[in-house]
Amino acid sequence: MRLVFLGSGAFGLPTLEALARDHDVAMVVTQPDRKAGRGGKLTPTPVGAWAAEHLSGVPLLKPERVNEPGVVAEVCSIDADAWVVIAFGQKLGKPLLEGRFAINLHASVLPRWRGAAPINAAILAGDTATGNSVITLADRMDAGLILGQSERAIGPTVTAGELHDLLAGDGPELVEHVLAEHTARTLDPFKQDEAAVTLAGKLSRADAWIDLADSAEVCRRRINGLSPWPGVQAVLDGQPLKLLRACELTPGDVGSASETETPDVRTGSAHDATPGTLLDPATGTFATGDGVLQLLEVQPAGKRAMSWDAYARGRKPAEGELLSSAEVSRPC
């Protein structure tokens, strides 16, 4: 098939690579280069960088506003069988889409988690499964007809960054399946259930907080769901510490005690310690409002991400130290 690809973020890269291998990608449209890093160097999007390196001779557009008449005319001048849109970052207007077969890959099983951060939202909410949806483009965000879906389980310690990469890797097969059905004229689109819609708002650095008075499960979901960005920003005994991966402990995780015994406050899932108290420096277990949280991966200020074990060997934290949220401007 002859295709136009519109995308910016890394989520679309596996699909673009597969489409370029198996089809004729006639044009790539992405966001403009932006300043990045401490030096403020102009940096292309992941899609723009890959296309420039691997698709020599293929037009690569980087419009500031994709719906401007001149851009619309240039994109629509390409005779294509389909447009594939993945994490593009700009809404496509009616003049662009009129008369086009255009599909969008979205990282959730719609209608659950429409919006900017569906992967993070699924982990934050405690979902045990998510997936991808291929939909038509509509006026309302992520509200198009569903053309195909895939599913994937969410492991208890998987981070948003890892789930992003797993779902991105699932994208090519689903998109190829929808394109094949379009060619064979066997597509069977269906409407989303509006009563089941949930929304996944855009994240910011203001979301990087944690409340250790919450349950261990809620804390675990928050840490994993915000990793690697914005990452939960915390302070342990006055020292900044970014929390990147965690799990919650249950009685079965640490062995069982008789009904007359009190679980060891250093390792057990029951305790009477203040939320945030470090119970066992060797294992990275902390008291929460309900249960015990175990930190698996952290990042001290100015250093690389590391396991709790590596962090503890270097810093040697002491039992009783207090973990708390760093001061951030929390959203209202």
Query: Residue 155 is part of a domain; what is its CATH number?
Result: 3.40.50.170
Cis peptide before 228 (omega within 30 of 0): yes
- Judge if 186 and 247 occupy the same domain: no
Give pLDDT, residue 263: 39
- Judge if 165 and 233 occupy the same domain: no
DSSP assignments along 238-271, one per residue: TEEEEEEEEEEE-HHHH----TTSPPPTTTSS--
- Judge if 17 and 105 occupy the same domain: yes
When pLDDT is cut at 50, 70 and 90, the band that residue 331 belongs to is low
Query: Residue 276 is part of a domain; what is its CATH number?
Result: 3.10.25.10
Give pLDDT, residue 107: 98
- Judge if 284 and 235 occupy the same domain: yes
> Is 331 a member of any domain?
no
- Judge if 6 and 137 occupy the same domain: yes
CA nearest to 172, candidates 49, 50, 20: 20
- Judge if 229 and 106 occupy the same domain: no
The domain boundary residue, chosen from 200, 235, 253:
200
When pLDDT is cut at 50, 70 and 90, the band that residue 36 belongs to is confident
Strand partners, 25: 3
CA torsion through residues 82, 87, 89, 94, sign? positive
Q: pLDDT tens across 52-61, in order?
A: 999 999 999 9
Average pLDDT over residues 235-240: 96
When pLDDT is cut at 50, 70 and 90, the band that residue 261 belongs to is very low
Cα distances from 4 to residues 49, 61, 76, 145, in angstroms, run 17, 11, 9, 20
- Judge if 6 and 155 occupy the same domain: yes
Q: Strand, helix or coil at 178?
A: helix
Q: pLDDT tens across 127-167, in order?
A: 999 999 999 999 999 999 999 999 999 999 999 999 999 99
* pLDDT at residue 35 greater than cutoff 80: yes
> Is 18 a member of any domain?
yes
Give pLDDT, residue 39: 80
Give pLDDT, residue 257: 33
Q: Strand, helix or coil at 137?
A: coil
- Judge if 43 and 177 occupy the same domain: yes
The domain boundary residue, chosen from 200, 228, 257:
200
Give pLDDT, residue 330: 56
Residue 7 CA to residue 48 CA, distance in Å, equals: 8
- Judge if 186 and 245 occupy the same domain: no
* pLDDT at residue 31 greater than cutoff 90: yes
Query: Domains in the chain: how many in total?
Result: 2
When pLDDT is cut at 50, 70 and 90, the band that residue 258 belongs to is very low
- Judge if 256 and 216 occupy the same domain: yes
> Is 330 a member of any domain?
no
When pLDDT is cut at 50, 70 and 90, the band that residue 38 belongs to is confident
Average pLDDT, the chain: 93
State which residues form the domain around 26: 2-200
Task: Give residue 228's identity as a one-letter amino acid code.
Answer: P
Give pLDDT, residue 266: 43
- Judge if 224 and 191 occupy the same domain: no
Q: pLDDT tens across 193-234, in order?
A: 999 999 999 999 999 999 999 999 999 999 999 999 999 999
When pLDDT is cut at 50, 70 and 90, the band that residue 293 belongs to is very high
The domain boundary residue, chosen from 200, 218, 233:
200
Vertex 9 angle, CA 4 and 12, to 5°: 50
Alpha helices in 33-188, H assignment, sequence order:
46-54, 69-76, 94-97, 118-124, 160-184
Share of the chain above pLDDT 70, in %: 92
- Judge if 123 and 267 occupy the same domain: no
